[in-house]
Amino acid sequence: MNARVCTVTGLQVENHAANLIKLHAVSAVVFLLLGALAALGIALTRWEAVHLLSPDWYYRLVSFHGVNMLVFWIVFFESAGIVFASTVILNSRQAFAPLAYLAWFLMLAGALMADWVMLFKPFDQATIMFTAYPPLKSHPAFYLGVILFAVGALVNCILFFLNVFNARREGTHTGPVPLFTYAIGAAATIGVYALLHGALAFIPAFLWSMGWIKDIDPAAYRLTFWGFGHPAQQINLCAMVGVWYALSTFTVGALPVNEKVCRTAFVLYVLFINLGSVHHLLVDPGLGAGFKIFNTSYAMYLAVLASMIHALSIPASVEVAQRKRGYTKGLFEWLKQAPWGNPCFAALALSLVIFGFLGGVSGVIIGTAQVNLQAHNTLRIPGHFHTTVVGGTTLAFMGFTYYVIPLIFRKEWWSPKWAKVQPWLFAAGIVVMALAMSALGMLGYSRRHYDMSLEGAPFQSDQFGGVALLFQALVGLGGTAAVASVVMFALNAVATLLLGKAVETVPSFPPVQLPTPEPEGAPEQPRPKFAAPGVFALAIAFLVFFVVMYAANWLSLAKTWEIK
Amino acid sequence: MSVFRPPDDWWYKTPVDFEEKVWIGVALVWCLAMFAAMVGWAVWAKQNPPKESYRTTPKEFARKAVEFIRARQAKDAKGSPLFEKGIPVVDVPQGEDGYLIAKAWAWEPVLRLKKGQPARIRMSSLDFQHGFSLQPANLNLQILPGYEYVATLTPTSAGEFLILCNEFCGKDHHKMVGKIIVTE
């Protein structure tokens, strides 16, 4: 096998695997940049004092932004992760390499087709949003593009399992797979059933757009679409949690506190998280209360339990590693002395907090069957998922990229200074924007809406009040800051690839702090009852915050009209 | 570094620390409590997603809704049919079902309800998917063509309420605004 040995980790990097990781990673960053430029137009349009775009271009770019970010950027990046987790980490080669290149090509061709339709076809054919709900009908090339992309992604998921199988058969890897591979394995498993649901939604939609079938039942489409759309976000969740474990190992040398617990939590994701598709159907006709309540809770919140387990386990592993290094004073010395100047650590910590405190809590709340009456299709929805898939997953992936470029592409970062600032700017922008969106949503603002002043409509009202104008400005400003940060990230990455110096032995930036092995024959230390007291205290504070927010939403619901 | 290296063969036999056990226990209790809250709310509380819905067709629904509007349209002081901005204003009498049409890009008719009095409203779309978004009460429902969604609404305050559309439905989506009037 044509391979080199990584100077930092000692792992073997096979050439095909390295090429595929590069192709997927570069494609990911390109689509991230496209999506971000659209985001700027959207944010500055919803700030109605600016109202940058025409309605046509606003709705077009909302469609474009959604598909490029939620599908193209994220899945390309995850495909890079799939190759990495199933080859490099297992010291093995890419199986069926030509097929893997073909899968990448299908994804790229599909993405370009869909983007072409969304940007250049007439409005009625181009603009049907990420959700593509029939009877809105797009150009056939849109559906076909999405289908091609999905086929490529599905091939990648299957190749993941073949690679793992191959690594065992060829003996490059023995024993249980490492935790990162396990996490990506969970993501790939969810990926397979998510993409099969996607086929059930998009293939009929394609046939319908060609005029080969007459009708699509809108309720049935919603069920199958969300059987794809919701698990697709849980692929991101699993991949992000895997990246969190990886970043904590690379930045502070953390080891999972208990592998049994982490791995069980991933199994809970695989088993129950697909039920969350019903989050999107809570106020739909045609479904009963029992069906909605059981499914929206992921079978009594067992998937939420899994996230709460990771929420303790990852920061606890960081605390334990830091305490081992001698930062033992009080509850939080370990946190103060953490490597905050390392963008990888900053991205880890910030995305963990944003995802947990804002994304996780808001998700459970708006996914509550009855509370959803006050959240469905309001700006609270994008307010929520910009704290999960953007402030959480995207930020974690950007943090991971700061290691991927020096370690896989073997290039020194063009500007470490930009890299250090970037995660902070991104986190600040996203938090400000997402909180403002959530506040507007609570006031009743619609998502995907051009003009909340309702100009030109038969009825207007000033019910949203002056405070809404302030929140609109915060959406515009926060969004602009986040886009600026993405541009910094993408330009830095491109400049590094084109102009960066080659890494000679070990990359000079960002710093790597791997776990120190226990000395041979050292007596086993009894573990204290609370190995990570600081994180335990934070976890309790998190729970209190969760309970208060949850209760507040029930109170708000109790005050509105009665409905049954 | 078992994030990247295989763990010890016996990783699944490592006992779980006290700290983690406590957290998992607390988290599990909270999860079950949230589930119980949802079930309890469905049984005892007064705001739940409507459960009643029927298959229909846009044609059939439009026919029934127009019939209702003709029969129950309100009259102005001179006794002629009442409109607001060209949209008929219609009373929903007690014991009778009201109809609300969603179509690109209008909600029809303007419904008049009484504070504290439950009103059964049948809603459906004649074309695309729409979002019934009652403001400022902030109640939101998904409206689909081919499905009649029956919501029983009891207004708790008098005044004028807007119905926005919060599901994207084409180029003038943001101009699709209707009204519900609640009298004392």
Domain ranges of chain A: 339-452+466-512
Nearest by CB to A312, which of B18, B23, B128?
Answer: B23
Q: Based on the domain organization, do B82 and B148 belong to the same domain?
A: yes
Nearest by CB to B17, which of A257, A302, A450?
Answer: A257
The domain in which residue B174 lies consists of 52-183
Angle at A341 between CA A338 and CA A344, to 5 degrees: 85
Residue A271 — very low, low, confident or very high, per pLDDT cuts 50/70/90? very high
Q: Based on the domain organization, do B22 and B98 belong to the same domain?
A: no
Q: Based on the domain organization, do B34 and B65 belong to the same domain?
A: no
Instruction: Count how many pairs of residues, chain A against chain B, have C-beta atoms within 8 Å.
Output: 320
Nearest by CB to B3, which of A245, A443, A536?
Answer: A245
The pLDDT value recorded for residue B1 is 44
pLDDT at A28 over 50: yes
The pLDDT value recorded for residue A7 is 82
Residue A103 · residue A157 · CB < 8 Å = no
Which is nearest to A262 in space by CA: B96, B152, B115, B2? B2
Q: What is the pLDDT of residues A430-461, one digit of tens each?
A: 999 999 999 999 999 999 999 999 999 999 98
The pLDDT value recorded for residue A515 is 86
Q: Would the CA dihedral through A175, A178, A184, A189 be positive or negative?
A: positive
Residue B124 resides in a domain: yes
Residue B166 resides in a domain: yes
Q: Based on the domain organization, do B30 and B87 belong to the same domain?
A: no
Q: What is the bridge-based pairing of β-strands B52-55 and B147-154?
A: antiparallel
Q: Based on the domain organization, do B39 and B124 belong to the same domain?
A: no
Residue B6 resides in a domain: no
Residue B57 resides in a domain: yes
Q: What is the pLDDT of residues A158-198, one digit of tens each?
A: 999 999 999 999 998 888 899 999 999 999 999 999 999 99
Q: Based on the domain organization, do B27 and B62 belong to the same domain?
A: no
A369 — contact with chain B (CB < 8 Å)? yes
Q: Based on the domain organization, do B110 and B129 belong to the same domain?
A: yes
CB atoms < 10 A from the CB of A54, how many?
Answer: 11
Q: Based on the domain organization, do B25 and B86 belong to the same domain?
A: no
A541 — contact with chain B (CB < 8 Å)? no
Residue B85 resides in a domain: yes
Complex ipTM:
0.96
Q: Which residues of chain B have pLDDT under 70?
A: 1-2, 7-11
Q: Based on the domain organization, do B84 and B60 belong to the same domain?
A: yes
Residue B70 resides in a domain: yes
In chain A, pLDDT over 70 holds for what percent of residues?
99
Q: Which residue of chain B comes nearest to A122, CA vs CA? A: B171
How would you classify residue A503: left for phi > 0, otherwise alpha for psi between -120 and 50, otherwise beta?
Answer: beta
Q: Based on the domain organization, do B16 and B85 belong to the same domain?
A: no
Q: Tokens 């309720």 identify what position? A: A219
Q: What is the 3-state secondary structure (H, E, C) of chain B?
A: CCCCCCCCCCHHHCCCCHHHHHHHHHHHHHHHHHHHHHHHHHHHCCECCCCEEEECCHHHHHHHHHHHHHHHECECCCCCECEECCEEEEECCCCCCEEEEEECCEEECEEEEECCCCEEEEEEECCCCEEEEEECCCEEEEECECEEEEEEEECCCCEEEEEEECCCCCCCHHHCEEEEEEEC
For residue A257, the chain B residues in CB contact (below 8 A) are 17, 20
Q: Residue B129 and residue A129: Cβ atoms within 8 Å?
A: no
Residue A514 · residue A315 · CB < 8 Å = no
Q: Based on the domain organization, do B28 and B66 belong to the same domain?
A: no
For residue B20, the chain A residues in CB contact (below 8 A) are 257-258, 261, 309, 312-313, 316
CATH number for the domain including B109?
A: 2.60.40.420
Q: State how far the Cα of A365 lies from the Cα of A473, in Å rounded to an integer.
A: 26
Burial bucket for residue A330 (CB in 10 Å: 0-12, 13-18, 19+): exposed
Q: Based on the domain organization, do B36 and B110 belong to the same domain?
A: no
The pLDDT value recorded for residue A10 is 81
The two tokens of residue A262 are 């982490």
Nearest by CB to B46, which of A284, A375, A562?
Answer: A562
* Cβ-Cβ contacts under 8 Å for A75 (sequence gap 6 or more): A107, A149, A153, A235
pLDDT at A29 over 60: yes
Angle at A218 between CA A213 and CA A223, to 5 degrees: 110
Mean pLDDT within A43-50: 97
- How many structural domains are present in chain B? 2
The pLDDT value recorded for residue B19 is 93
Residue A103 · residue A25 · CB < 8 Å = no
Q: Residue A372 and residue B49: Cβ atoms within 8 Å?
A: yes
Residue B89 resides in a domain: yes
